[in-house]
Structure 1
Amino acid sequence: MNTIFNFFNQNHQNIQSGIFVAVFLVCWFLEYYVSDSSFFPKKKHVLNNFLFSLSGAVIQVLVSVVFLKIILFENANNIGLIPYLNFKSGYLNILFAFIFLDFTYWLYHFLMHKIPVLWRFHSVHHSDSHLNVSTSLREHPFETMIRLGHYVLAVSFLGPALWIISLHQFIQIISKIIIHADLRLPEKTDRILSFLVLTPNMHQVHHHYVRPYTDSNYGDLFSIWDRMFKTFYTLKKEELKFGLDQYPESVQQPEAWYKMLVRPFINSNFK
Protein backbone atom coordinates (compact mmCIF):
# COMPACT_ATOMS: atom_id res chain seq x y z
CA MET A 1 0.00 0.00 0.00
CA ASN A 2 2.80 2.43 0.88
CA THR A 3 4.49 1.79 -2.47
CA ILE A 4 1.27 2.53 -4.37
CA PHE A 5 0.62 5.60 -2.22
CA ASN A 6 4.12 6.97 -2.75
CA PHE A 7 4.08 6.46 -6.51
CA PHE A 8 0.73 8.14 -7.17
CA ASN A 9 1.03 10.70 -4.39
CA GLN A 10 4.32 11.97 -5.86
CA ASN A 11 2.59 12.52 -9.21
CA HIS A 12 5.08 10.83 -11.55
CA GLN A 13 3.39 12.16 -14.69
CA ASN A 14 6.36 11.43 -16.95
CA ILE A 15 6.52 7.79 -15.88
CA GLN A 16 2.75 7.35 -16.21
CA SER A 17 2.73 8.99 -19.65
CA GLY A 18 5.57 6.70 -20.71
CA ILE A 19 3.58 3.66 -19.59
CA PHE A 20 0.52 4.85 -21.54
CA VAL A 21 2.59 5.27 -24.70
CA ALA A 22 4.25 1.88 -24.18
CA VAL A 23 0.90 0.09 -23.76
CA PHE A 24 -0.48 1.88 -26.83
CA LEU A 25 2.52 0.84 -28.94
CA VAL A 26 2.45 -2.75 -27.69
CA CYS A 27 -1.23 -3.00 -28.65
CA TRP A 28 -0.45 -1.35 -32.00
CA PHE A 29 2.22 -3.93 -32.88
CA LEU A 30 0.15 -6.85 -31.58
CA GLU A 31 -2.72 -5.71 -33.80
CA TYR A 32 -0.39 -5.67 -36.78
CA TYR A 33 0.85 -9.21 -36.22
CA VAL A 34 -2.25 -10.86 -34.75
CA SER A 35 -5.31 -9.26 -36.37
CA ASP A 36 -6.52 -10.16 -39.85
CA SER A 37 -6.94 -6.57 -41.12
CA SER A 38 -3.63 -5.85 -42.81
CA PHE A 39 -5.56 -4.53 -45.83
CA PHE A 40 -6.98 -1.65 -43.78
CA PRO A 41 -5.27 1.80 -44.18
CA LYS A 42 -4.22 1.76 -40.55
CA LYS A 43 -1.71 4.64 -40.63
CA LYS A 44 -4.26 7.02 -42.12
CA HIS A 45 -6.88 5.79 -39.68
CA VAL A 46 -4.65 6.29 -36.63
CA LEU A 47 -3.44 9.69 -37.84
CA ASN A 48 -7.02 10.94 -38.26
CA ASN A 49 -8.05 9.68 -34.83
CA PHE A 50 -4.93 11.20 -33.27
CA LEU A 51 -5.47 14.61 -34.90
CA PHE A 52 -9.12 14.47 -33.88
CA SER A 53 -8.14 13.83 -30.26
CA LEU A 54 -6.06 17.02 -30.22
CA SER A 55 -9.26 19.05 -30.59
CA GLY A 56 -10.14 18.18 -26.99
CA ALA A 57 -6.63 18.56 -25.55
CA VAL A 58 -7.13 22.18 -24.42
CA ILE A 59 -10.35 21.20 -22.66
CA GLN A 60 -8.51 18.36 -20.91
CA VAL A 61 -5.82 20.73 -19.62
CA LEU A 62 -8.22 23.46 -18.46
CA VAL A 63 -10.55 21.04 -16.65
CA SER A 64 -7.57 19.26 -15.07
CA VAL A 65 -6.35 22.52 -13.51
CA VAL A 66 -9.77 23.25 -11.99
CA PHE A 67 -10.21 19.61 -10.99
CA LEU A 68 -6.88 19.55 -9.15
CA LYS A 69 -7.77 22.66 -7.13
CA ILE A 70 -11.13 21.17 -6.12
CA ILE A 71 -9.58 17.90 -4.96
CA LEU A 72 -6.78 19.60 -3.02
CA PHE A 73 -9.33 21.88 -1.31
CA GLU A 74 -11.54 18.90 -0.39
CA ASN A 75 -8.57 16.89 0.90
CA ALA A 76 -7.38 19.81 3.03
CA ASN A 77 -10.84 20.28 4.56
CA ASN A 78 -12.01 16.62 4.76
CA ILE A 79 -14.94 17.23 2.43
CA GLY A 80 -16.75 14.38 0.69
CA LEU A 81 -18.42 11.02 1.24
CA ILE A 82 -15.21 9.09 1.89
CA PRO A 83 -13.97 11.44 4.66
CA TYR A 84 -17.47 11.27 6.17
CA LEU A 85 -17.50 7.45 6.16
CA ASN A 86 -13.97 7.47 7.63
CA PHE A 87 -12.82 4.01 6.54
CA LYS A 88 -9.98 2.71 8.68
CA SER A 89 -8.36 0.80 5.82
CA GLY A 90 -6.70 2.38 2.80
CA TYR A 91 -7.79 -0.64 0.76
CA LEU A 92 -11.43 0.04 1.64
CA ASN A 93 -10.99 3.64 0.50
CA ILE A 94 -9.67 2.42 -2.85
CA LEU A 95 -12.37 -0.24 -3.25
CA PHE A 96 -15.22 2.12 -2.37
CA ALA A 97 -13.89 4.87 -4.66
CA PHE A 98 -13.43 2.49 -7.60
CA ILE A 99 -16.91 0.96 -7.22
CA PHE A 100 -18.58 4.37 -6.84
CA LEU A 101 -16.77 5.91 -9.82
CA ASP A 102 -17.36 2.83 -11.95
CA PHE A 103 -21.10 2.92 -11.36
CA THR A 104 -21.32 6.65 -12.11
CA TYR A 105 -19.40 6.03 -15.34
CA TRP A 106 -21.82 3.23 -16.30
CA LEU A 107 -24.71 5.65 -15.74
CA TYR A 108 -22.99 8.42 -17.72
CA HIS A 109 -22.29 6.03 -20.60
CA PHE A 110 -25.86 4.73 -20.56
CA LEU A 111 -27.23 8.30 -20.80
CA MET A 112 -24.84 9.15 -23.65
CA HIS A 113 -26.59 6.42 -25.64
CA LYS A 114 -30.17 7.16 -24.56
CA ILE A 115 -30.38 10.99 -24.78
CA PRO A 116 -30.43 11.98 -28.48
CA VAL A 117 -28.51 15.26 -28.18
CA LEU A 118 -25.73 13.47 -26.24
CA TRP A 119 -25.73 10.57 -28.69
CA ARG A 120 -24.94 13.01 -31.52
CA PHE A 121 -21.47 13.47 -30.03
CA HIS A 122 -20.90 9.97 -28.67
CA SER A 123 -21.87 8.44 -32.03
CA VAL A 124 -18.67 9.90 -33.52
CA HIS A 125 -16.76 7.42 -31.37
CA HIS A 126 -19.03 4.56 -32.44
CA SER A 127 -18.94 5.39 -36.14
CA ASP A 128 -15.37 4.09 -36.40
CA SER A 129 -15.80 1.18 -38.80
CA HIS A 130 -12.55 -0.44 -37.74
CA LEU A 131 -12.05 -0.82 -34.01
CA ASN A 132 -8.41 -0.63 -33.06
CA VAL A 133 -6.23 0.96 -30.40
CA SER A 134 -6.56 4.44 -31.95
CA THR A 135 -10.35 4.34 -31.43
CA SER A 136 -9.60 5.01 -27.76
CA LEU A 137 -8.52 8.52 -28.87
CA ARG A 138 -11.65 9.17 -30.91
CA GLU A 139 -13.75 11.41 -28.65
CA HIS A 140 -15.55 14.56 -29.76
CA PRO A 141 -14.48 17.64 -27.72
CA PHE A 142 -18.10 18.24 -26.67
CA GLU A 143 -18.20 14.73 -25.28
CA THR A 144 -14.88 15.42 -23.57
CA MET A 145 -16.50 18.35 -21.75
CA ILE A 146 -19.48 16.22 -20.74
CA ARG A 147 -17.34 13.28 -19.60
CA LEU A 148 -14.95 15.41 -17.58
CA GLY A 149 -17.84 17.40 -16.11
CA HIS A 150 -19.42 14.16 -14.94
CA TYR A 151 -16.11 12.95 -13.49
CA VAL A 152 -15.49 16.22 -11.61
CA LEU A 153 -18.97 16.10 -10.07
CA ALA A 154 -18.63 12.43 -9.08
CA VAL A 155 -15.20 12.89 -7.54
CA SER A 156 -16.22 16.14 -5.80
CA PHE A 157 -19.10 14.32 -4.13
CA LEU A 158 -16.85 11.40 -3.21
CA GLY A 159 -13.89 13.44 -1.91
CA PRO A 160 -11.17 10.75 -2.13
CA ALA A 161 -7.48 11.41 -1.63
CA LEU A 162 -5.75 12.79 -4.72
CA TRP A 163 -3.53 9.73 -5.02
CA ILE A 164 -6.58 7.44 -5.25
CA ILE A 165 -7.91 9.50 -8.16
CA SER A 166 -4.48 9.34 -9.81
CA LEU A 167 -4.52 5.55 -9.40
CA HIS A 168 -8.06 5.30 -10.78
CA GLN A 169 -7.28 7.42 -13.83
CA PHE A 170 -4.09 5.48 -14.47
CA ILE A 171 -5.91 2.13 -14.51
CA GLN A 172 -8.84 3.64 -16.43
CA ILE A 173 -6.62 4.92 -19.26
CA ILE A 174 -4.70 1.64 -19.52
CA SER A 175 -8.02 -0.23 -19.66
CA LYS A 176 -9.42 2.03 -22.40
CA ILE A 177 -6.36 1.48 -24.56
CA ILE A 178 -6.52 -2.30 -24.18
CA ILE A 179 -10.28 -2.80 -24.64
CA HIS A 180 -10.26 -0.83 -27.91
CA ALA A 181 -7.39 -2.83 -29.37
CA ASP A 182 -8.06 -5.14 -32.30
CA LEU A 183 -7.26 -8.14 -30.12
CA ARG A 184 -9.32 -10.87 -28.49
CA LEU A 185 -8.91 -13.10 -25.48
CA PRO A 186 -9.48 -16.85 -25.76
CA GLU A 187 -13.19 -17.48 -25.21
CA LYS A 188 -12.71 -19.48 -22.02
CA THR A 189 -10.44 -16.82 -20.51
CA ASP A 190 -12.90 -14.11 -21.51
CA ARG A 191 -15.83 -15.91 -19.88
CA ILE A 192 -13.95 -16.07 -16.60
CA LEU A 193 -12.62 -12.49 -16.60
CA SER A 194 -15.86 -10.93 -17.85
CA PHE A 195 -17.70 -12.05 -14.72
CA LEU A 196 -15.96 -9.16 -12.98
CA VAL A 197 -14.04 -6.90 -15.36
CA LEU A 198 -14.50 -5.41 -18.81
CA THR A 199 -12.61 -7.27 -21.54
CA PRO A 200 -11.73 -6.46 -25.18
CA ASN A 201 -14.23 -9.12 -26.29
CA MET A 202 -17.00 -7.40 -24.31
CA HIS A 203 -16.22 -3.94 -25.61
CA GLN A 204 -16.10 -5.15 -29.20
CA VAL A 205 -19.74 -6.17 -28.79
CA HIS A 206 -20.47 -2.62 -27.62
CA HIS A 207 -19.05 -1.39 -30.94
CA HIS A 208 -21.15 -3.77 -33.05
CA TYR A 209 -23.06 -1.74 -35.63
CA VAL A 210 -26.68 -2.52 -34.66
CA ARG A 211 -28.80 -2.43 -31.52
CA PRO A 212 -29.26 -3.94 -29.02
CA TYR A 213 -25.54 -4.70 -29.13
CA THR A 214 -24.53 -1.05 -29.53
CA ASP A 215 -26.55 -0.36 -26.38
CA SER A 216 -24.79 -2.95 -24.25
CA ASN A 217 -21.65 -3.50 -22.17
CA TYR A 218 -21.46 0.10 -20.93
CA GLY A 219 -18.97 -0.68 -18.16
CA ASP A 220 -15.72 1.15 -17.55
CA LEU A 221 -13.63 -1.26 -15.47
CA PHE A 222 -16.18 -3.70 -14.02
CA SER A 223 -18.81 -5.79 -15.80
CA ILE A 224 -21.07 -6.16 -12.75
CA TRP A 225 -23.35 -3.23 -13.65
CA ASP A 226 -24.13 -4.62 -17.10
CA ARG A 227 -24.97 -7.98 -15.59
CA MET A 228 -27.04 -6.33 -12.86
CA PHE A 229 -29.05 -4.12 -15.25
CA LYS A 230 -29.27 -6.75 -18.01
CA THR A 231 -27.20 -4.85 -20.57
CA PHE A 232 -24.58 -7.58 -20.84
CA TYR A 233 -24.32 -9.15 -24.33
CA THR A 234 -21.90 -11.45 -26.11
CA LEU A 235 -21.18 -12.09 -29.79
CA LYS A 236 -18.82 -14.40 -31.64
CA LYS A 237 -15.93 -12.79 -33.48
CA GLU A 238 -17.25 -13.76 -36.93
CA GLU A 239 -20.57 -12.01 -36.20
CA LEU A 240 -19.02 -8.66 -35.29
CA LYS A 241 -19.24 -5.67 -37.59
CA PHE A 242 -18.02 -2.33 -36.29
CA GLY A 243 -19.50 1.08 -36.99
CA LEU A 244 -23.12 2.26 -36.99
CA ASP A 245 -26.01 1.27 -39.23
CA GLN A 246 -27.34 4.86 -39.07
CA TYR A 247 -24.33 6.25 -40.93
CA PRO A 248 -23.49 5.58 -44.58
CA GLU A 249 -20.37 3.51 -45.23
CA SER A 250 -18.53 6.54 -46.66
CA VAL A 251 -18.76 8.34 -43.31
CA GLN A 252 -17.38 5.38 -41.41
CA GLN A 253 -14.19 5.03 -43.42
CA PRO A 254 -11.01 6.90 -42.37
CA GLU A 255 -11.95 10.54 -42.78
CA ALA A 256 -10.37 13.91 -42.07
CA TRP A 257 -10.50 14.89 -38.42
CA TYR A 258 -12.32 18.14 -39.13
CA LYS A 259 -15.18 16.23 -40.77
CA MET A 260 -15.63 14.21 -37.58
CA LEU A 261 -15.58 17.46 -35.64
CA VAL A 262 -18.53 19.03 -37.50
CA ARG A 263 -20.53 15.87 -38.18
CA PRO A 264 -22.73 16.03 -35.01
CA PHE A 265 -23.94 19.47 -36.10
CA ILE A 266 -24.84 18.57 -39.67
CA ASN A 267 -25.90 14.91 -39.55
CA SER A 268 -29.52 14.26 -38.58
CA ASN A 269 -29.13 10.49 -38.10
CA PHE A 270 -28.64 10.53 -34.37
CA LYS A 271 -31.68 8.84 -32.79
Structure 2
Amino acid sequence: METLLTYFETIPSLHRSLILVGGITFFWMLEGAVPLFQFNYKKWKHAWPNLFFTITTIVINFGLAFLLLRTSDWVTAHSFGIINWLPKLPLWLYVILGVLLLDFFGAYLAHYVEHKVKPLWMVHLVHHTDHKVDITTGNRHHPIESVIRFAFTLLGVFVVGAPIGIIMIYQSLSVVFTQLTHANIKMPRGLDKAISYVFVSPDMHKVHHHYLLPYTDSNYGNIFSIWDRLFGTYMELDRDKLTYGVDTFPDEITNSNIKDLLKQPFHKYRHPTTTDASEKVD
Protein backbone atom coordinates (compact mmCIF):
# COMPACT_ATOMS: atom_id res chain seq x y z
CA MET A 1 0.00 0.00 0.00
CA GLU A 2 2.87 2.37 0.75
CA THR A 3 4.29 1.80 -2.74
CA LEU A 4 0.88 2.45 -4.30
CA LEU A 5 0.39 5.65 -2.32
CA THR A 6 3.87 6.88 -3.22
CA TYR A 7 3.19 6.24 -6.90
CA PHE A 8 -0.03 8.25 -6.86
CA GLU A 9 1.63 11.09 -4.96
CA THR A 10 3.73 11.76 -8.04
CA ILE A 11 1.67 10.12 -10.79
CA PRO A 12 2.77 11.54 -14.17
CA SER A 13 0.19 13.45 -16.19
CA LEU A 14 0.80 11.00 -19.03
CA HIS A 15 -0.33 8.09 -16.84
CA ARG A 16 -3.49 9.96 -15.82
CA SER A 17 -4.20 10.65 -19.48
CA LEU A 18 -3.71 6.98 -20.31
CA ILE A 19 -6.31 6.02 -17.71
CA LEU A 20 -8.85 8.30 -19.39
CA VAL A 21 -8.02 7.58 -23.04
CA GLY A 22 -7.26 3.92 -22.46
CA GLY A 23 -10.54 3.44 -20.61
CA ILE A 24 -12.58 5.11 -23.33
CA THR A 25 -10.84 2.99 -25.97
CA PHE A 26 -11.30 -0.26 -24.01
CA PHE A 27 -14.98 0.23 -23.25
CA TRP A 28 -15.67 1.56 -26.76
CA MET A 29 -14.47 -1.78 -28.12
CA LEU A 30 -16.25 -3.77 -25.40
CA GLU A 31 -19.52 -2.04 -26.29
CA GLY A 32 -19.21 -3.54 -29.75
CA ALA A 33 -18.66 -7.02 -28.35
CA VAL A 34 -21.27 -7.20 -25.56
CA PRO A 35 -23.70 -4.27 -25.95
CA LEU A 36 -26.55 -3.79 -23.50
CA PHE A 37 -28.66 -2.08 -26.17
CA GLN A 38 -28.30 -2.27 -29.94
CA PHE A 39 -28.42 1.47 -30.58
CA ASN A 40 -29.33 2.55 -34.08
CA TYR A 41 -26.85 5.42 -34.33
CA LYS A 42 -23.64 6.60 -35.87
CA LYS A 43 -21.37 6.18 -32.89
CA TRP A 44 -18.85 8.89 -33.78
CA LYS A 45 -21.60 11.41 -34.52
CA HIS A 46 -23.17 10.68 -31.15
CA ALA A 47 -19.78 10.83 -29.44
CA TRP A 48 -18.73 14.24 -30.73
CA PRO A 49 -20.73 16.53 -28.35
CA ASN A 50 -19.89 14.22 -25.43
CA LEU A 51 -16.18 14.31 -26.23
CA PHE A 52 -16.38 18.09 -26.54
CA PHE A 53 -17.67 18.29 -22.98
CA THR A 54 -15.05 15.78 -21.87
CA ILE A 55 -12.38 18.17 -23.17
CA THR A 56 -13.94 21.18 -21.41
CA THR A 57 -14.03 19.18 -18.17
CA ILE A 58 -10.34 18.28 -18.52
CA VAL A 59 -9.38 21.90 -19.20
CA ILE A 60 -11.32 23.21 -16.20
CA ASN A 61 -10.00 20.55 -13.82
CA PHE A 62 -6.45 21.13 -15.05
CA GLY A 63 -6.79 24.89 -14.64
CA LEU A 64 -8.09 24.58 -11.08
CA ALA A 65 -5.84 21.69 -9.98
CA PHE A 66 -3.50 24.03 -8.10
CA LEU A 67 -6.32 24.65 -5.61
CA LEU A 68 -6.50 20.94 -4.81
CA LEU A 69 -2.75 20.79 -4.31
CA ARG A 70 -2.64 23.84 -2.05
CA THR A 71 -5.60 22.64 0.01
CA SER A 72 -4.09 19.18 0.34
CA ASP A 73 -0.74 20.63 1.39
CA TRP A 74 -2.44 22.79 4.01
CA VAL A 75 -4.55 20.03 5.62
CA THR A 76 -1.52 17.73 5.65
CA ALA A 77 0.75 20.36 7.24
CA HIS A 78 -1.86 21.20 9.89
CA SER A 79 -3.14 17.64 10.45
CA PHE A 80 -6.60 18.94 9.65
CA GLY A 81 -9.58 16.85 8.58
CA ILE A 82 -11.50 13.73 9.53
CA ILE A 83 -8.89 11.12 8.69
CA ASN A 84 -6.21 13.11 10.53
CA TRP A 85 -8.29 13.42 13.69
CA LEU A 86 -8.85 9.68 14.03
CA PRO A 87 -6.56 7.43 16.06
CA LYS A 88 -3.62 6.13 14.03
CA LEU A 89 -4.91 3.67 11.45
CA PRO A 90 -3.22 1.01 9.35
CA LEU A 91 -2.18 2.63 6.07
CA TRP A 92 -4.56 0.51 3.98
CA LEU A 93 -7.52 1.55 6.14
CA TYR A 94 -6.40 5.19 6.09
CA VAL A 95 -6.36 5.16 2.28
CA ILE A 96 -9.69 3.34 1.89
CA LEU A 97 -11.42 5.65 4.36
CA GLY A 98 -10.00 8.69 2.61
CA VAL A 99 -11.21 7.51 -0.82
CA LEU A 100 -14.60 6.53 0.63
CA LEU A 101 -15.15 9.98 2.15
CA LEU A 102 -13.92 11.82 -0.94
CA ASP A 103 -16.42 9.78 -2.93
CA PHE A 104 -19.16 11.05 -0.63
CA PHE A 105 -18.29 14.73 -0.97
CA GLY A 106 -17.02 14.81 -4.53
CA ALA A 107 -19.59 12.47 -6.08
CA TYR A 108 -22.62 11.51 -3.99
CA LEU A 109 -23.22 14.83 -2.22
CA ALA A 110 -22.48 16.91 -5.31
CA HIS A 111 -24.77 14.76 -7.41
CA TYR A 112 -27.57 14.78 -4.84
CA VAL A 113 -27.47 18.57 -4.49
CA GLU A 114 -27.52 19.00 -8.26
CA HIS A 115 -30.78 17.11 -8.41
CA LYS A 116 -32.40 18.95 -5.51
CA VAL A 117 -31.42 22.58 -6.25
CA LYS A 118 -33.35 23.81 -9.30
CA PRO A 119 -30.66 25.96 -10.98
CA LEU A 120 -28.09 23.21 -10.47
CA TRP A 121 -30.44 20.63 -11.93
CA MET A 122 -30.70 22.73 -15.08
CA VAL A 123 -26.91 22.68 -15.33
CA HIS A 124 -26.72 18.95 -14.65
CA LEU A 125 -29.45 18.36 -17.22
CA VAL A 126 -26.86 18.27 -20.00
CA HIS A 127 -25.62 14.97 -18.61
CA HIS A 128 -29.10 13.46 -18.48
CA THR A 129 -30.36 14.46 -21.91
CA ASP A 130 -28.25 11.88 -23.71
CA HIS A 131 -30.73 9.46 -25.26
CA LYS A 132 -28.11 6.78 -25.91
CA VAL A 133 -25.97 6.33 -22.82
CA ASP A 134 -22.58 4.87 -23.63
CA ILE A 135 -18.91 5.26 -22.73
CA THR A 136 -18.82 8.84 -24.03
CA THR A 137 -21.71 9.93 -21.79
CA GLY A 138 -19.68 9.66 -18.60
CA ASN A 139 -18.00 13.06 -18.89
CA ARG A 140 -20.81 14.85 -20.70
CA HIS A 141 -20.95 17.76 -18.23
CA HIS A 142 -21.67 21.41 -18.92
CA PRO A 143 -18.61 23.57 -18.10
CA ILE A 144 -20.55 25.16 -15.23
CA GLU A 145 -21.12 21.72 -13.76
CA SER A 146 -17.42 20.93 -14.04
CA VAL A 147 -16.74 23.94 -11.81
CA ILE A 148 -19.49 22.88 -9.37
CA ARG A 149 -18.16 19.34 -9.14
CA PHE A 150 -14.65 20.66 -8.60
CA ALA A 151 -15.89 22.85 -5.74
CA PHE A 152 -17.44 19.84 -3.99
CA THR A 153 -14.24 17.84 -4.45
CA LEU A 154 -12.26 20.74 -2.99
CA LEU A 155 -14.65 20.82 -0.02
CA GLY A 156 -14.11 17.09 0.39
CA VAL A 157 -10.32 17.45 0.41
CA PHE A 158 -10.60 20.11 3.11
CA VAL A 159 -13.10 18.29 5.35
CA VAL A 160 -11.57 14.85 4.89
CA GLY A 161 -8.00 16.09 5.22
CA ALA A 162 -6.83 14.12 2.21
CA PRO A 163 -3.16 14.09 1.16
CA ILE A 164 -2.41 14.35 -2.54
CA GLY A 165 -1.78 10.60 -2.94
CA ILE A 166 -5.29 9.73 -1.76
CA ILE A 167 -6.77 12.47 -3.96
CA MET A 168 -5.07 11.02 -7.03
CA ILE A 169 -6.21 7.49 -6.16
CA TYR A 170 -9.77 8.79 -5.75
CA GLN A 171 -9.75 10.71 -9.01
CA SER A 172 -8.29 7.77 -10.93
CA LEU A 173 -10.91 5.39 -9.54
CA SER A 174 -13.59 7.97 -10.25
CA VAL A 175 -12.60 8.03 -13.93
CA VAL A 176 -12.63 4.23 -14.18
CA PHE A 177 -16.01 3.84 -12.47
CA THR A 178 -17.55 6.62 -14.53
CA GLN A 179 -16.48 4.76 -17.65
CA LEU A 180 -17.63 1.37 -16.38
CA THR A 181 -21.07 2.50 -15.23
CA HIS A 182 -21.92 4.48 -18.36
CA ALA A 183 -20.56 2.04 -20.92
CA ASN A 184 -23.21 0.33 -23.03
CA ILE A 185 -22.20 -3.16 -21.91
CA LYS A 186 -24.21 -6.14 -20.77
CA MET A 187 -22.77 -7.61 -17.60
CA PRO A 188 -24.23 -10.90 -16.28
CA ARG A 189 -27.09 -9.94 -13.96
CA GLY A 190 -25.77 -11.95 -11.03
CA LEU A 191 -22.30 -10.38 -11.27
CA ASP A 192 -23.75 -6.89 -11.62
CA LYS A 193 -25.94 -7.43 -8.56
CA ALA A 194 -23.04 -8.79 -6.51
CA ILE A 195 -20.87 -5.78 -7.40
CA SER A 196 -23.66 -3.37 -6.45
CA TYR A 197 -23.57 -4.41 -2.79
CA VAL A 198 -20.26 -2.55 -2.42
CA PHE A 199 -19.60 -0.60 -5.62
CA VAL A 200 -21.75 1.20 -8.16
CA SER A 201 -22.42 -1.29 -10.96
CA PRO A 202 -23.43 -0.57 -14.57
CA ASP A 203 -27.07 -1.62 -14.11
CA MET A 204 -27.32 0.28 -10.84
CA HIS A 205 -26.17 3.54 -12.33
CA LYS A 206 -28.20 3.23 -15.52
CA VAL A 207 -31.36 3.27 -13.39
CA HIS A 208 -30.36 6.86 -12.64
CA HIS A 209 -30.51 7.63 -16.37
CA HIS A 210 -34.10 6.41 -16.74
CA TYR A 211 -36.18 9.26 -18.10
CA LEU A 212 -38.83 9.37 -15.37
CA LEU A 213 -38.97 9.96 -11.64
CA PRO A 214 -38.43 8.54 -9.09
CA TYR A 215 -35.61 6.68 -10.85
CA THR A 216 -33.92 9.86 -12.09
CA ASP A 217 -33.55 10.90 -8.45
CA SER A 218 -31.82 7.73 -7.27
CA ASN A 219 -28.44 5.97 -7.33
CA TYR A 220 -26.28 9.10 -7.10
CA GLY A 221 -23.06 7.31 -6.18
CA ASN A 222 -20.00 7.01 -8.37
CA ILE A 223 -17.58 4.53 -6.80
CA PHE A 224 -19.26 3.14 -3.67
CA SER A 225 -22.92 2.12 -3.44
CA ILE A 226 -22.85 2.46 0.36
CA TRP A 227 -23.99 6.08 0.26
CA ASP A 228 -27.16 5.35 -1.71
CA ARG A 229 -27.99 2.43 0.55
CA LEU A 230 -27.25 4.42 3.70
CA PHE A 231 -29.30 7.48 2.73
CA GLY A 232 -32.20 5.63 1.12
CA THR A 233 -31.59 6.72 -2.47
CA TYR A 234 -30.92 3.24 -3.84
CA MET A 235 -33.43 1.93 -6.38
CA GLU A 236 -33.67 -0.97 -8.79
CA LEU A 237 -35.30 -1.21 -12.21
CA ASP A 238 -35.01 -4.06 -14.68
CA ARG A 239 -32.54 -2.94 -17.33
CA ASP A 240 -34.91 -4.10 -20.08
CA LYS A 241 -37.34 -1.36 -19.00
CA LEU A 242 -34.82 1.47 -19.22
CA THR A 243 -35.47 4.49 -21.40
CA TYR A 244 -32.72 7.11 -21.40
CA GLY A 245 -33.12 10.87 -21.43
CA VAL A 246 -35.39 13.32 -19.61
CA ASP A 247 -39.09 13.38 -20.44
CA THR A 248 -39.32 17.19 -20.24
CA PHE A 249 -36.52 17.59 -22.82
CA PRO A 250 -37.43 14.92 -25.39
CA ASP A 251 -35.90 16.43 -28.57
CA GLU A 252 -32.95 14.17 -29.37
CA ILE A 253 -31.68 16.43 -32.15
CA THR A 254 -31.51 19.46 -29.83
CA ASN A 255 -29.96 17.28 -27.14
CA SER A 256 -27.19 16.30 -29.54
CA ASN A 257 -26.21 19.82 -30.57
CA ILE A 258 -23.33 21.45 -28.70
CA LYS A 259 -24.70 24.97 -29.07
CA ASP A 260 -28.11 23.97 -27.72
CA LEU A 261 -26.54 21.97 -24.89
CA LEU A 262 -24.47 24.97 -23.81
CA LYS A 263 -27.71 26.99 -23.58
CA GLN A 264 -29.68 24.23 -21.86
CA PRO A 265 -29.06 25.40 -18.26
CA PHE A 266 -30.74 28.71 -19.05
CA HIS A 267 -34.08 27.24 -20.11
CA LYS A 268 -37.11 27.55 -17.85
CA TYR A 269 -36.86 25.00 -15.04
CA ARG A 270 -38.36 21.63 -15.83
CA HIS A 271 -37.97 18.38 -13.93
CA PRO A 272 -38.81 14.82 -14.94
CA THR A 273 -42.24 13.58 -13.97
CA THR A 274 -43.04 10.65 -11.75
CA THR A 275 -43.52 7.19 -13.21
CA ASP A 276 -46.82 5.41 -13.14
CA ALA A 277 -47.31 3.34 -10.03
CA SER A 278 -47.23 0.22 -12.21
CA GLU A 279 -43.61 0.96 -13.12
CA LYS A 280 -42.36 1.43 -9.57
CA VAL A 281 -40.16 -1.21 -7.98
CA ASP A 282 -40.54 -2.19 -4.33
What TM bracket, shorter-length normalisation?
over 0.9
Distance 1:66 1:212 in 2: 36
State the shift of 1:195 in Å: 1.0
Partner of 1:224: 226
SS in 1 for 2:83: helix
Partner of 2:66: 65
State the shift of 1:157 in Å: 1.7
Distance 2:151 2:98 in 1: 17
Distance 1:239 1:270 in 2: 20
The size of the alignment, in residue pairs, is: 270
Partner of 2:83: 82
Partner of 1:12: 12
Q: Does 1:170 align with 2:172?
A: yes
Distance 2:48 2:180 in 1: 18
Distance 2:64 2:226 in 1: 29
Q: Give runs of aligned pairs for residues 58-207 of structure 1, distance below 5 A.
A: 58-104=59-105, 105-207=107-209
Partner of 2:279: none
State the shift of 1:180 in Å: 0.6
Distance 1:252 1:185, change over 3 A: farther
> Is the CA contact 2:218–2:234 (under 8 Å) kept in the aligned structure 1?
yes
> Is the CA contact 1:32–1:38 (under 8 Å) kept in the aligned structure 2?
no
For structure 2, the 5+ residue unaligned runs are 273-282
State the shift of 1:270 in Å: 4.4
* TM-score, with length taken from structure 1: 0.92
Distance 1:18 1:54, change over 3 A: closer
State the shift of 1:251 in Å: 4.8
> Is the CA contact 1:106–1:225 (under 8 Å) kept in the aligned structure 2?
yes
Distance 2:140 2:268 in 1: 18
Distance 1:251 1:216 in 2: 26
SS in 2 for 1:49: helix
Q: Does 1:213 align with 2:215?
A: yes
> Is the CA contact 1:216–1:231 (under 8 Å) kept in the aligned structure 2?
yes
The worse-fitting range, judged by mean Cα deviation, of 167-176 and 2-11 is: 2-11
State the shift of 1:72 in Å: 1.9
The worse-fitting range, judged by mean Cα deviation, of 95-104 and 188-197 is: 95-104
State the shift of 1:188 in Å: 1.0
SS in 2 for 1:217: coil
> Is the CA contact 2:248–2:271 (under 8 Å) kept in the aligned structure 1?
yes
Let me know the Cα RMSD of the aligned residues.
Answer: 1.8
Partner of 1:239: 241
Distance 2:82 2:269 in 1: 41
The worse-fitting range, judged by mean Cα deviation, of 97-106 and 117-126 is: 97-106
Distance 1:137 1:50 in 2: 8
Distance 1:166 1:90 in 2: 16
Q: Does 1:249 align with 2:251?
A: yes
Partner of 1:265: 266
> Is the CA contact 2:138–2:178 (under 8 Å) kept in the aligned structure 1?
yes
State the shift of 1:38 in Å: 5.0
Q: Does 1:43 align with 2:48?
A: no
Aligned residue identity for 1:114: K
Distance 1:168 1:117, change over 3 A: same
For structure 1, the 5+ residue unaligned runs are none
Distance 1:158 1:268, change over 3 A: closer
State the shift of 1:269 in Å: 2.5
Distance 1:228 1:66, change over 3 A: closer
